[in-house]
Structure 1
Amino acid sequence: MATMHDVARLARVSVSTVSYVLTGTRPISDATRARVLEAMAELDYQPNAMARGLATRRSRIVGLLMPMSERGFGATETAFVTGAAAAASDAGYHLVLSPIGAGDLDDLRRLASQRMVDGVALMEVQIEDGRVGVLQETGVPLVLIGRTSDTTGLSYVDIDFDQTVREAVDHLVGLGHRRIVYVNHSAATIAAGYGPALRTRDSFVAAMTGYGLEPLMIPAEDSAAGGRAALAQAMTQAPDLTAVLAMNENAIFGILAELAVRRRAVPGDVSVVSMVTSPAVAELAYPALTAMTSPGSALGRIAVEALLRQLDGTGAHHQQLLPCALEVRGSTCPAARPDNELTGTGLPGG
């Protein structure tokens, strides 16, 4: 494999001159530059990524900022990352994962000031997310995988939570379920302004009241123990519940366990739908979970592609919502007993 010294020898210049041609850090005459480029072509010399980056003033690295929690990554979160990494690789970029959350603004300022990345994609976006302002102030191109409350002038891709929740509720109501409980993320996550938790809460209220039904939401810690506690609370507040809708993958297995302990069969006694879930997670459960399947890989890919268009100056702001897709498996079935109170409410069969 040819080296920079080989190029310098063939072009009859110094190694430093070859370096200057690659990096553009000093002016080089057109004739000398031509000799160096001809030598590189003849030797099939491939400059390393750092040299190419210096020449173009780019690192060819994009960052994916995703805060890490103690629970780590599950299959659903991983799909976002793999989709983003594939899009970056296809364009000749490297993707670097950084655990910078909405509260780590000093760390973000350091990262932005060092210009180690050409642009960033933000995950786990809060309704009011300070990371956006820091990146705008420092001039770092960005795209959101999620949405803030004000998206003016921002590029984002996100799940269409309104449609996703509505279709999940439609599925359960269509099966005759009237007493449906929604298990969300934790109370602390909701209070912190995590976008998906707030949007699904509001969408659940709208979907249920649209059917004339009472919406009951239970927050749950992101753990199996949190799911068990949430189900116990739900049974206390709604002992007649016949369906659970959940957007908390770690809690869902605790929900299923607590139902088993209470001898409530799934789906015979209680139907369960998991939202924003990967097929890999849905099929781990028994019975396999009916789920609103996450478009995570597509969202990661679209976000990075939109970011790279910003870097190339070929794309305007990109704003797009994708719904989850309903995949019916073994955890839902018609309600165990007909509820005559549904008549006249506008529900199926009413």
Structure 2
Amino acid sequence: MAATMQDVADLAQVSLSTVSYTLSGKRPVSAETRARIESAMAELGFRRHAAARALASRRTHVLAVAYPVYGVALGATLNEIVSGAAAAARAAEYELVLWPVSSAEPELLHELAGQRTADGVVLMEVALDDPRIEVVEAAGLACALIGRTEDPGERVWVDIDFEDALEQAVTHLADLGHREIAFISRSQASVDAHYGPVVRAQRGYERAMAARGMRALSVTCDVTPPAGRRAMKRLLADVPDLTGVIVMNELALFGVSSALREAGRSVPDDVSVLAIAVADEISEMYERPLTYLGTTWKEQGARAVRGLLEVLDGRPAPAGVNLPCELHLRETTGPAPRP
């Protein structure tokens, strides 16, 4: 059980109010008493509660993560991003809270930001023209972007180089002899919301395919296994000679697998499957270790929080970061089958 202020008071042999004054700075406390209290806190592993620190600094010492749920809960990859953000916040003695607010709900974000229960906001799943930014900044809060708008300006942002990731994916499959390569993206809702990763990945895919004289075969797909199954079945019906599929949709991957199995297509002998922007955990959950392009997801969340804290401390926002993806070769991609 976590130590309480009363535990600290008992060990330091002072009153509860004296501990409170020491934490808040509301009244003077002698150096000797302060030393005893701080020694007791260290011995008990007592963490200064955000509300107590707020009394002294006029800050809440809370950061909010605004995550728009496009019809799906927080997945493994996004969970790693949030874990990295939380670890960076804890290291700076900040708490992290989750606000499930989409770019289509600016009025809800306005209400949350207006309550000033957080010092700053980390916006996830950023759209190219994201109205949440104006809402947060109009409330007087600093913000950082996990992702970026079309023009992020001098704000804190940490994104993934999705254009390069799709170039790497197409190159890998093309070098293996594949010519009919499809791309299963995210939901139509995310396309309609101009969700940055979807737009940038689509651009990268189309550019890479056109550069090799190959036709682009892309479909949107909700972030669920059944949707992935339907998308894969549709592709197999429309493109009988399909031999490669790139998937940027971690939950749809499992539906893709079942559709291929039902169609009697072996992976990778008949069809190669390559995932984009997923965590290593997803690769290990697949039927066989999945070839994928990924990055340091926890570092993405941590960098966004550290940049936001710099702004809160009055320093200029650090330069935006575009993290590269690395290709991890596993067992789901191989040479294109002979005609």
Q: Same fold (TM over 0.5)?
A: yes
How many residue pairs get matched?
A: 325
Of 74-83 and 37-46, the range deviating more from structure 2: 37-46
Give me the whole-angstrom Cα distance separating, in 2, the residues matched to 1:147 and 1:110.
Answer: 23
Q: Does 1:120 align with 2:126?
A: no
Query: Structure 2: how far apart are the matches of 1:323 and 1:182?
Result: 20
Question: CA shift at 1:288, angstroms?
Answer: 1.8
Report the secondary structure of 1:283's partner residue: helix
Q: Which amino acid aligns with 1:39?
A: T
Equivalent position SS for 1:131: helix
1:3 to 5, 9, 32: 9
Partners of 1:306 and 1:315 within 8 A in 2: no
Contact 1:8 1:36 in 2 (8 A): no
Residue 33 of structure 2 aligns with which residue? 39
Listed as ranges, the gaps of 5+ residues in structure 2 are 1-6, 42-47
1:248 and 1:52 map into 2 onto residues whose CA distance is 41
Q: Which residue identity does 1:168 align to in structure 2?
A: A
Which residue of structure 2 aligns with residue 213 of structure 1?
214
Distance 1:269 1:49 in 2: 56
For residues 113 and 71 of structure 1, do their structure 2 counterparts lie closer, same or farther at Cα, with a shift above 3 Å needed?
closer
Query: Shift of the alpha carbon at 1:237?
Result: 2.6
Distance, in Å, in 2 between the alignment partners of 1:131 and 1:141 is 12
- Matched position secondary structure for 2:251: helix
List per-residue Cα deviations over 1:23-66 (Å, max 9, x = no partner). 466xx6xxxx3x54542224436564422211111111111111
Q: What's the offset of the Cα at 1:68?
A: 3.3
CA contact (8 A) 1:21 1:36 kept: no
CA distance in 1, matches of 2:13, 2:141: 38
Please list the CA deviations of residues 143-168 of structure 1 after superposition, one character each: whole Å capped at 9, or x if unmatched.
Answer: 00011112112210010011111111
For the 8 Å contact 2:50–2:95, the answer to whether it is kept is no
> SS at 2:285's partner residue?
coil
DSSP-derived class of the 2:83 partner: helix
Q: TM-score, normalised by structure 2?
A: 0.89
> How many angstroms does 1:74 deviate by?
2.0
- Secondary structure at 2:312's aligned position in 1? helix
Output the aligned Cα RMSD: 2.3
Q: State how 1:1-350 maps to structure 2 within 5 Å.
A: 1-3=7-9, 7=14, 23=24, 33=28, 35-44=29-38, 48-68=49-69, 70-337=71-338
Letter in 1 for 2:200: R
AA in 2 matched with 1:191: D
Which amino acid in the other structure matches residue 270 of structure 2?
D
Separation of aligned partners in 2, 1:76 and 1:62:
20
Q: What CA distance in whole angstroms lies between the structure 2 residues aligned with 1:328 and 1:288?
A: 9
Supply the distance in 1 between the matched residues of 2:35 and 2:123 (Cα, whole angstroms): 39
CA distance in 2, matches of 1:280, 1:150: 33
Aligned-pair CA distance for 1:287: 2.4
For the pair shown, the structure with the greater C-alpha radius of gyration is 1
- 1:7 deviation in Å? 4.9
Residue 205 of structure 1 and its aligned partner are, at CA, apart by 0.4
Shift of 1:195: 1.1
Deviations 1:223-249 (A, max 9, x none): 122112111221233211110001011
Once the 2 structures are TM-superposed, how far is the Cα of residue 295 of structure 1 from its aligned partner? 2.6
8 Å CA contact 1:142, 1:155 repeated in 2: yes
8 Å Cα contact 1:7-1:36 kept in structure 2: no
Moved more, 241-250 or 225-234: 225-234
Task: Tell whether the 8 Å contact from 2:223 to 2:250 is kept in structure 1 after alignment.
Answer: yes
91-100 or 39-48, which deviates more: 39-48
Gaps of 5+ in 1: 10-14, 339-350
